Amino acid sequence: MPKNDAAALKQLLTSDDPDRIARALALGPGAVAALLATLPEPDGLGFQPGWRVKRGRWPAVQRDLARVVCAHLDDPALDPYRPGFWRWVPPDLWADALLGEHAARTPDGIALVRVPAARVTLGEAGDSHEVVITRDLWVSTTLVTFALWQQVVGDAVAGVDPQSPAFVKHAGAVRFCNALSAREGLPPAYVDGRLASLDAPGYRLLTEAEWEHAARAGTDGDTYAGPVKVRYGQNPHLDPAIRYGEPRNGPVPPVATRLPNAFGLYDMLGLAWERVQDEWSPRRPRGVDPWHTGEDLPDEARGVHVRRGAEHVNFACLTTAHTRMDDRKARCAFRVCRKASEPRPIEPTVEAPAVVLSPWRHVALEIPHARPRALFTRDGLTWVGVAGSLATALHGVLACDADLMEVQHDLRTPWLVSDLHVVNRTLWAGLGPGQLVAWRSPDEPMRVVQEMTNAPVLASHGTDLLVGTTWQGLGVPDEVWIPGLRGKMLASVALDADRVYGGYDDGCVRVYDRGTGRRLRVLKTGGRVAIAPGVVWTADREGTITAHAAADGAVLRSFAHAKSNRYPLRLYVRGERILAWDDRSVGVYEPDGTRVSRWDCPDGHSVNAVFPIGADLHVAVADVECSGRVLRIEARSR
């Protein structure tokens, strides 16, 4: 029967019957629910779900569908927050139909949807936490456009698309909110430029926690359209909903040209960076209705706010629901909200406690306010490359004794340290924006060896150092230089006596002749590479480790480690054993794939680097507070 009702409703909506709306409403909410269940996920605003509709009639069909759906929104048969529910009708058509409990339209024509209060998990894998939002909110479905800015504030803006986002400073967004509140007779939310209260009845910016809750719309992955599978390339499954990776010299696109999320909000990711209410802090918001007012900051540090969402020219890896930056020197747009309900208690979700398989045995070295990113042990010293938080910028290299009991040297660098190697008693480091630097001894000053286009990755063989960057390529100084590959990000490098290996983010390792630079072969089993005598080891994003014969690239064997949560698997070979890790776990394996040991990182931390030390491992981990630890972990069989 429901199937027949869905067919009858579809027939009415696509017909020319003047009484089609009344007859469609008479079929009831069950028919609407049945029809919506038959619709596949749309791949664009103009997509038709296989219906036979006369030319030019599809917008009218969408409008009629919106009217019928919204007439039954209060019925339990329909779930207005079901993923994909809003995606079948563009915002201008929803605007006339979405009136009542779940949506509204202001006198200035701004479409608002109701975002419910909730207890939600925000952040990313290895850096997540629970936040409670106690108020329902009315949130504008799109970013404020230049046309709306001119209509509300009165300032004329020439030479821009009136439907593109309005880029203003934080004070400009405050000015717009108060002007919009005054036009509707609401008390202003901002007094002397500062938000009076989250309970203020006027329009305001979303807090950072409210923004991420609204952006996720019930999802828990990288984006509301799915995971980011290719960090620096195209992700076709994201294209219908998110703008990213577009040319930097092109115009800013208009709003609402991609599909909305499950709450009916457009461009929460990818069109333009969005301003939020919180002042900048390296610590993510947590707790109940969190809002960083900045009152704990010194006067010289205030006035810097958080931006979220990324813009249409950014790589996909930045266009995620958990990406956050400060708004210094950034062009930012904004959307408005106001409270839709009074605060109310939100009951916690009852779940089984997480089981930590193997917490660390002891913390050997604490690194406050900085994250360890690289490790290397040589001649009785363990070198730790660190990246300071945005607040402290404590970048540099720490030299510790092998037992990590004492810091013997603290070498400061102007940028974060991306990689470390010790060759010929010289410490080499790759720095964040693109520098290769070196110290002949810890007591001598740092010298810049080469300026590069981006952070170099390093490897060594004997007394030779291999240097690689995405854009410039890779090679051993004073030998043949191998150019970079256009459009492919260099992820790892390796070197032996005869060959140079480059692993790229397309999941392939290119093998080159060290003497001539000629490419010998391509190994298509992952973009991470490590070398053992006669064997080339590769690893892919799915956690599969593969052994190839070094002579001809033939596959010898493969085995599974674990699927990576956030980063591709990384490899290191010491003797015959293979050391593999991602951000959540570390494994030690025999050449036949037998696992010697495994260590799982506790919740709230992520693995950044690993290096063998005798029979044990040094493991660098970072926590959500932008602080780190270097641990000594047993690597014995168990």
Tens of pLDDT along 226-236?
Answer: 888 888 888 88
pLDDT tens column, 558-611: 988 865 555 567 888 877 788 888 888 888 888 888 888 888 887 777 888 888
Q: Give pLDDT, residue 396.
A: 84
Per-residue pLDDT, 264: 80
Name which of 62-76, 364-378, 534-548, 618-632 the model is least confident about.
62-76
Beta strands in 424-543 (DSSP E): 426-431, 435-439, 447-451, 457-461, 464-469, 473-475, 481-482, 490-495, 499-504, 509-513, 519-523, 528-532, 535-539
186-200, 358-372, 400-414, 511-525: the lowest-pLDDT one? 358-372
Identify whether the C-beta of residue 596 lies closer than 8 Å to the C-beta of residue 590: yes
pLDDT at 96: 52
Whole-number pLDDT of residue 81: 52
- Asked whether residue 522 carries a pLDDT value surpassing 90, the answer given is yes
Q: At what angle do helices 2-13 and 29-38 cross, to 10 degrees?
A: 80
| % of the chain beyond a pLDDT of 70 | 85
**Buried residues in 407-426 as b, exposed as e (16+ CB within 10 A):** eebebebebbbbbbbbbeee
Q: Using an 8 Å Cβ cutoff, are 566 and 554 in contact?
A: no
Beta bridge partners of 333: 274
The 10s digit of each residue's pLDDT in 438-461 is 998 888 888 888 888 788 899 988
- Alpha-carbon distance of 115 to 93, in angstroms, equals 20
> What pLDDT does residue 319 have?
92
Mean pLDDT on 261-266: 84
Q: Are strands 381-388 and 305-308 parallel, antiparallel or unpaired?
A: unpaired
Give the closest residue to 427 by CA, choosing from 471, 454, 460: 460
| pLDDT for the residue 2 | 46
pLDDT tens-digit map of 388-425 = 765 455 688 888 887 776 778 888 888 888 899 898 88
- Residue 94 in this model has a pLDDT that exceeds 70: no
pLDDT tens per residue across span 203-255: 999 999 999 999 998 888 888 888 888 888 888 888 878 899 998 888 899 99
What would the pLDDT profile of 95-105 be if each residue is shown by its tens digit? 555 545 567 78
| In the predicted structure, residue 92 carries a pLDDT above the cut 90 | no
Going from the N-terminus, what domains does the chain have, and what CATH number goes with each? Answer: 1-92 (no CATH), 365-452+601-638 (2.40.128), 456-600 (2.130.10.10)
Please, what is the average pLDDT of the chain?
82
Tell me: pLDDT of 478 over 80. Answer: yes
The pLDDT of residue 221 = 84
Check residue 567 and give its pLDDT: 56
| 518 CB burial (10 A radius; 0-12, 13-18, 19+) | exposed
In whole angstroms, how far apart are CA 22 and each of 18, 53, 145, 326, 353? 9, 20, 36, 52, 52
- Confidence category of residue 125, pLDDT binned at 50, 70, 90: low
The two tokens of residue 612 are 């063998």
**pLDDT category of residue 156 using cuts at 50, 70 and 90:** confident
Q: Is the pLDDT of residue 635 over 90?
A: no
